[in-house]
Structure 1
Amino acid sequence: MYFLFLIFWIILNGRFTLEILLFGLVISAVVYAFICRFMGYSPRKDFFLFRNLILLLTFAGVLVKEIARANLSVLKLILSPKYEPEPALIYFRTDLKYGVSRVLLANSITLTPGTITVSVVGDEFCVHCLDKEFAKGIADSDFVKLLRRMEAGR
């Protein structure tokens, strides 16, 4: 996170000089110390994010792929004159342990066209699907598998 603050500082300055770099090193250190002390952040979290960077990038790629695939499915559903959508409200449980993982899953489901996460209570999700076909495999999707792998590395 410290390096992200430093890069952000340099970008906001619009130029790169020794003064800007030295001042940025100090400012970034102060901001990083602040978030570590008052916002519950720690270098351990940085190490976790760095170690799981490949999985996070894979997760982002899977999300983009699923959004594109769902867009095509919704488009087909809308443009098909003979196909009537059958909305469904499904409930499922997940074995994800951490709240961050559950929030990522809920937001990924909502970002995917045709599905909306209605509620998350504990480990139970309620999802509204535009068509019952969209609900198939949602409880054991690629999102859940990647989040499990991220949690295992924690």
Structure 2
Amino acid sequence: MYILFFLLWVIFNGKVTLEIVLFGIVIAGAVYAFCCKFLDYSPRKDWLIMRKFGYIIAYLGVLIWEIVKANAATLKLVASPHIRVQPVIVRFKTDLKTKTARVLLANSITLTPGTITVALQDNEYTVHCLDRRFSEGLSDSVFVRLLHKIEGQVAG
């Protein structure tokens, strides 16, 4: 996080001089210290994020790809006069342990066209799907598998 603060300082200044770099080191340190003291942040959390950075990037890539695929499927469904739409509400549970992972899954489902997370109670999801086919595999999707890896669990 400190490096991110420093890089933002340099980028926002628009040029690199010795003075800007020295001030950036001090100001980034002050902002990082503030985050650690008042925002429940720590160098340990930085280390955990860096260890899982590859999985986080993979998750973002999968999310973008799933959004593109769902856009095409939704467009095909909406534009075709011969396909009969069968909306459905599905309930399923996951064994994700952290609240952050559960919320990420709910938001990923909502970001994917054709599906909306209606409710999330503990680990039970209620999802509205534009068509029955969109509900297939929600409980064991690639999102769930990657979130298990991010949580540090081995998904069976």
Shorter-chain TM-score bucket reads over 0.9
Partner of 2:121: 121
Partner of 1:135: 135
Cα RMSD (Å): 0.9
Partner of 1:37: 37
Equivalences, count? 153
Which amino acid in structure 1 is aligned with residue 37 of structure 2? R
Distance 2:106 2:58 in 1: 17
Per-residue Cα deviation, 1:78-104 (whole angstroms, up to 9, x for no partner): 111111211111111110011111111
SS at match of 2:90: strand
Distance 2:146 2:110 in 1: 17
TM-score (norm. length: structure 1): 0.97
Gaps of 5+ in 2: none
Partner of 1:18: 18
Alignment of 1:40-119 (within 5 A): 40-119=40-119
Distance 1:44 1:128 in 2: 38
Distance 2:121 2:42 in 1: 28
Q: Which runs of 4+ in 1 moved over 6 A?
A: none
Per-residue Cα deviation, 1:28-87 (whole angstroms, up to 9, x for no partner): 111111111111111111111111111011101111110111011001101111112111
Distance 2:117 2:80 in 1: 25
SS at match of 2:8: helix
Alignment of 1:145 with 2:145, yes or no, is yes
Which amino acid in structure 2 is aligned with residue 123 of structure 1? N
Which amino acid in structure 2 is aligned with residue 127 of structure 1? V
SS at match of 2:126: strand
TM-score (norm. length: structure 2): 0.95
Among the aligned pairs, what percent are the same residue? Answer: 52
Partner of 1:28: 28
SS at match of 1:66: helix
Which amino acid in structure 2 is aligned with residue 70 of structure 1? A
